[in-house]
Structure 1
Amino acid sequence: MQQHPAPDRRAAWQAAAQALVIRELLLQEARRRGVTATAEVDEQGCVEVPEEALIRELLALHAAPPQPEEAECRRYYDSRIERFRTPELFEAAHILIEPAGHDEKAWQAAEAQARALIEQVGDDAQTFAEAARRCSRCPTAAQGGSLGQVRRGELLPVVQEALERLHPGTTGSSPVRSRFGWHVVRLHRRIEGRVLPFEMVKDRIADMLAARAWTVSAVRFVAGLVSGADIRGVRIDPAAIEAELG
């Protein structure tokens, strides 16, 4: 039961019981078919349990679907081509001005310093980098405030929002506030995402389609065992089969 988290004890018992029934059905079928298997050893040196090896071999022999053909992979790629686009990148830099204290007066002084820096550096990249080395309290100061090439979600939301509003080669006209202090933000350039060619992603697509097909095939195989078995005391939910094999 401890391996089947559930909202309550009864649900955990039901999930554990279903798992044990499915396991027993698979073992019985493996023995009925005369399946034999050699236990595998993983990278950590752990040896596979003999019963698990039998189940693995049974499913490999009698439930594994054919590998997806290239035409199927191509159809998937063409119908979902936006999924294979590289993320848009922002090559950016910032200067972090920390308040000298926690009160509002300290925050106001830090904001005034940040605004003064904006006036001083303008849109000049070299001047911005020099100001970052001199004034920024972020570790990026050593690199002239450079944040490198970042994707959405990698920066503080307020900093990302400020970058989104900028044209490449410009510094934000106002500093943005975060819990760390005031940020003077510069966008060096914006690198648009591009669609990856099919040849670059076809193996990944094939692996994904194969895994999906294996789950469907294995679930159908076990469902057939369930429908033909005399099971008492436990009702097998089709979702439980997929949970055990997916």
Structure 2
Amino acid sequence: MVETAAAVATVNGMAITDAMIDAQAKRMGSQPGMSELDPAMLREAATDALINHTVLVQQAEKLGFESRPEIKSQIQTRRDGILANALLKEQLATVSFSDAEVQAEYEKHFNTKEQEYKARHILVEAEESAKELITQLDAGGDFAALAKEKSTGPTGANGGDLGWVSPSQMVEPFGNALKAMETGKYSSTPVKTQFGWHVILLEESRDVTPPSLEQVKPQLTELMKRNALKAYLEDLRTKADVKMN
């Protein structure tokens, strides 16, 4: 029990301190509408809320709620969560990275030039339908017009226009087919994906300039922190006696 001399109020001998009120006021101040209260009113509301909370807790203890199995389970779960999160937070505070480590992480993700492709496609359900479209294109058919008429995909109404895309955005083998095509050419054989059969037209391609290190440094360091915590957890699991029943 906190010394009552340091208390702003007591409830059946249980102290409510300045620190407790400040923390409660901070929580309440973040709630909609409460942030508009002046500090004195917010502090008064926080004190009142703590008194109410303490009265309820004391009554629950008096009635033996802690011995109820479902309550004990909830308390244990909350306790375990608080401990685990506190450990991870403390571990995270010890994690830091040198400039060289951040640079290495940057190069790992942005060490190669990528390309984007401006493409159209016509999506149909059957391979034979796709082959027939290629025959029509070979005879001088207009790709966009055929896409509007025949494509079952959502881009059909726009002449099959996909805009600028990277292969990694597309399902396979669509992405690989794009990379292998010549600019201005359409696929000579249908490309099958989980959505059906595609005829693809590659209109243009361009190099993608990667973002600078400074642009992505916050995201990279966050990723590195997550990976460090993952490694820490994996190390703990390796050392633990884990048995699956």
The normalised TM-score by structure 1 is 0.51
CA offsets per residue over residues 182-223 of structure 1, 9 Å max, x none? 533201222333332111121122223334445667888xx7
- Confirm or deny that 1:165 pairs with 2:200: no
- 1:1-246 matches, cutoff 5 A: 49-57=78-86, 60=89, 63-68=91-96, 72-78=98-104, 80-84=106-110, 88-99=115-126, 108=128, 111-121=131-141, 127-172=142-187, 174-178=188-192, 182-214=197-229, 237-238=238-239
Checking the alignment, whether the CA contact within 8 Å between 1:90 and 1:189 is kept in structure 2 is: yes
Could you say which structure has the larger radius of gyration? 2
Secondary structure of the residue that 2:117 maps to in structure 1?
strand
Output the CA distance in 2 between the equivalents of 1:185 and 1:59. Answer: 49
Change (3 A) 1:138 1:238: same
Which amino acid in the other structure matches residue 120 of structure 1?
Answer: G
Checking the alignment, whether the CA contact within 8 Å between 1:74 and 1:202 is kept in structure 2 is: no
Aligned residues: 170
User: Could you say which structure has the higher helix fraction?
Assistant: 2
Checking the alignment, whether the CA contact within 8 Å between 2:92 and 2:225 is kept in structure 1 is: no
Q: Which runs of 5+ in 1 are unaligned?
A: 1-37, 100-106, 122-126, 224-235, 242-246
Output the CA distance in 2 between the equivalents of 1:186 and 1:116. Answer: 14
Checking the alignment, whether the CA contact within 8 Å between 1:132 and 1:144 is kept in structure 2 is: yes
Secondary structure of the residue that 1:183 maps to in structure 2?
strand
The normalised TM-score by structure 2 is 0.51
User: Could you say which structure has the higher strand fraction?
Assistant: 2
Checking the alignment, whether the CA contact within 8 Å between 1:73 and 1:205 is kept in structure 2 is: no
Output the CA distance in 1 between the equivalents of 2:157 and 2:150. Answer: 11
- Identify which of structures 1 and 2 has the higher relative contact order when contacts are C-alpha pairs closer than 8 Å and 6+ apart: 1
Secondary structure of the residue that 1:81 maps to in structure 2?
helix
CA offsets per residue over residues 88-126 of structure 1, 9 Å max, x none? 332211123555xxxxxxx657623431223314xxxxx
Q: CA RMSD in A?
A: 4.2
Which range moves more in the overlay, 78-87 or 138-147?
A: 78-87
**Percentage of matched positions with identical amino acids:** 23
Output the CA distance in 1 between the equivalents of 2:149 and 2:174. Answer: 20
Output the CA distance in 2 between the equivalents of 1:182 and 1:219. Answer: 43
Checking the alignment, whether the CA contact within 8 Å between 1:114 and 1:175 is kept in structure 2 is: yes
Output the CA distance in 2 between the equivalents of 1:213 and 1:109. Answer: 51
